[in-house]
C-alpha cells in the first residue's frame, strides 16, 4: 500500500529503502508525485520513536557546541530582539546563547530523556533571560496566540510525524509577521545522490520526513507562511555531512567519527575501534579538504547536504 502525502495529500511513489540495524528491519521511503516531499512509511510507533533518543543522544554543551552556536546566532543577528521559542532545544545551548544576547528565550523538547538530562546538567547554568523550558509536544504547551517573534527548528522538523499540525500551531503562536527558521537535511542533495544509504544526514530511523527546498517551500506556503530566504551554506552541517558520508562509503564503522565526537563510543574500546581510528586519522589529510571542496561546490550549486530557510507568517 502506498501512503498519501503528509503535506498535500497527493499520491506517492516508492522512493528508497534501507535496512536499519536499530530496528532490525528495513525502512521504506515514499515520495509525493506532486510536492516531492519524501517520508518514511509506515512510521514507527510512539514508544519506538522515544527509544531512538536514549541518554546518549544528548551531550553536555562543550566548547565545540558553543562554537557552533555562534554561527546560528550570527545568522539571526539581523532580527530585532524579542521572544524566541527553540523547538527541539536538546541541551538548550542555543536557547541559552540567545538569552545572553538579550532574547527572552523559551525551549521545548519532546523526549523524557532530555528532561532528565536537562534537570541534572543544564538547569543550574541557564541565563536569567531563559523564561521557560518545557518537555512536551508543541500542541500541548498551550502558549498564547501571537506570542513569539521567532520560532526556530534546528534539525528538528525531520524528526516529527505531523508537520502540518506542527505548522498550524506555529502559525497560531507566532506574532503577525513573526519569523520561522527551519534547518533540515536536503534529500535532493548531491550527497544523497552520491552516497545513497551511506549519506550521513539520512539518519534512519530518526529522520522520518525528508525535505528539499522545493517541498518545504510548498508546505510552508500551504500553511500560511512566505519564504523570505534560503541559505545553502552551513559550515556547521554541510562539510561534516560529506566528511562522514565519505568514511561510511569507504566501509568504515558506521558514523564512527561522529560517534567519537559525541562521546558515544571510545576509539580504544576494541581492536576494531582501534583499527578504524588509526585509518580514520591516516586519511584525515585527504578527506578534510576534499569534504570542504565538495560541500562548498554542492552549496554553490544549491544542492547542499542541509539548508536553512527563514519564513514569515502572512
Ligand atoms: Zn505532496
Give the pLDDT of the chain (314 residues) as one tens digit per residue.
Answer: 899 999 999 999 999 999 999 899 999 999 999 999 999 999 999 888 888 887 666 665 566 777 778 888 888 888 999 999 999 998 888 998 899 999 999 999 987 777 777 777 777 778 888 889 999 999 999 999 999 999 999 999 999 999 999 999 999 999 999 999 999 999 999 999 999 999 999 999 999 999 999 999 999 999 999 999 999 998 889 999 999 999 999 999 999 999 888 888 889 989 999 999 999 999 999 999 999 999 999 999 999 999 999 999 99
Number of structural domains, the chain? 2
pLDDT of residue 152: 98
Q: How far, in Å, is the centroid of ligand 1 from the Cα of 109?
A: 27
Judge if 223 and 246 occupy the same domain: no
pLDDT of residue 62: 64
Report the chain's mean pLDDT, rounded to a whole number. Answer: 92
pTM: 0.92
Domain that holds residue 185: 55-233+307-313
- Whether 32 maps to a domain, the answer reads no
Q: How far, in Å, is the centroid of ligand 1 from the Cα of 223?
A: 13
- Whether 36 maps to a domain, the answer reads no
Judge if 224 and 244 occupy the same domain: no
Judge if 157 and 259 occupy the same domain: no
Q: How far, in Å, is the centroid of ligand 1 from the Cα of 31?
A: 8
Judge if 195 and 292 occupy the same domain: no
pLDDT of residue 55: 64
Judge if 248 and 211 occupy the same domain: no
Q: Which CATH number belongs to the domain containing residue 223 in this structure?
A: 3.40.50.150
Q: How far, in Å, is the centroid of ligand 1 from the Cα of 212?
A: 12
Q: How far, in Å, is the centroid of ligand 1 from the Cα of 219?
A: 8
Q: What is the pLDDT of residues 250-275, one digit of tens each?
A: 999 999 999 888 888 889 989 999 99
- Whether 261 maps to a domain, the answer reads yes
- Whether 43 maps to a domain, the answer reads no
Q: How far, in Å, is the centroid of ligand 1 from the Cα of 309?
A: 19
Judge if 144 and 226 occupy the same domain: yes
Judge if 119 and 218 occupy the same domain: yes
Judge if 248 and 186 occupy the same domain: no
SS (H, E, C) the chain: CCCCCCCCCCCEEEEEEEEEHHHCEEEEEEEECCCCCEEECCCCCHHHHHHCCCHHHCCCCCHHHHHHHHHHHHHCCCCCCCEEEEECCCCCHHHHHHHHCCCEEEEEECCHHHHHHHHHHHHHHCCCCEEEEEECCHHHCCCCCCCEEEEEEECCHHHCCCHHHHHHHHHHHEEEEEEEEEEEECCCCHHHHHHHHHCHHHCCCCCCEECCHHHHHHHHHHCCEEEEEEECCCCCCHHHHHHHHHHHHCCCCCCHHHHHHCCCCCCCCCHHHHHHHHHHHHHHHHHHHHHHHHHHHHHHCCCCCEEEEEEEEC
Judge if 194 and 252 occupy the same domain: no
Amino acid at each position: 500500500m502506498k501512503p498519501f502525502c503528509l503535506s498535500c495529500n497527493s499520491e506517492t511513489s516508492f522512493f528508497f529503502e534501507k535496512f536499519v540495524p536499530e530496528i532490525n528491519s528495513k525502512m521504506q521511503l515514499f515520495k509525493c508525485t506532486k510536492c516531492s516531499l519524501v517520508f518514511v512509511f509506515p512510521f514507527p510507533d510512539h514508544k519506538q520513536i522515544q527509544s531512538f533518543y536514549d541518554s546518549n543522544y544528548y551531550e553536555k554543551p562543550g566548547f565545540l557546541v558553543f562554537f557552533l552556536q555562534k554561527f546560528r546566532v550570527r545568522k539571526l543577528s539581523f532580527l530585532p530582539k524579542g521572544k524566541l521559542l527553540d523547538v527541539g532545544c536538546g541541551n538548550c545551548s542555543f536557547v541559552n546563547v540567545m538569552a545572553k544576547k538579550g532574547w527572552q528565550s523559551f525551549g521545548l523538547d519532546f523526549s523524557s530523556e532530555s528532561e532528565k538530562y536537562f534537570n541534572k546538567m543544564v538547569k543550574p547554568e541557564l541565563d536569567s533571560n531563559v523564561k521557560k523550558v518545557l518537555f512536551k509536544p508543541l500542541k500541548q504547551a498551550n502558549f498564547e496566540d501571537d506570542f513569539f517573534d521567532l520560532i526556530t527548528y534546528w534539525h528538528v522538523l525531520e524528526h516529527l510525524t505531523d508537520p502540518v499540525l506542527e505548522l498550524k500551531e506555529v502559525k497560531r503562536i507566532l506574532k503577525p509577521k513573526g519569523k520561522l527558521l527551519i534547518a533540515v537535511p536536503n534529500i535532493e542533495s548531491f550527497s544523497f545522490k552520491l552516497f545513497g544509504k551511506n549519506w550521513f544526514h539520512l539518519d534512519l530511523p530518526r529522520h522520518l520526513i525528508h525535505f528539499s527546498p522545493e517541498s518545504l517551500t510548498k508546505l510552508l506556503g500551504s500553511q500560511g507562511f512566505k519564504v523570505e530566504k534560503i541559505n545553502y551554506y552551513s559550515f556547521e552541517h554541510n562539510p561534516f555531512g560529506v566528511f562522514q558520508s565519505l568514511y561510511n562509503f569507504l566501509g568504515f564503522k558506521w558514523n564512527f567519527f561522529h560517534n567519537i565526537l559525541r562521546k558515544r563510543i571510545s576509539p580504544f574500546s576494541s581492536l576494531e575501534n582501534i583499527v578504524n581510528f588509526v585509518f580514520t586519522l591516516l586519511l584525515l589529510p585527504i578527506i578534510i579538504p576534499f569534504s570542504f571542496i565538495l560541500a562548498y561546490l554542492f552549496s554553490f550549486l544549491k544542492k547542499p547536504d542541509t539548508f536553512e530557510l527563514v519564513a514569515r507568517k502572512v
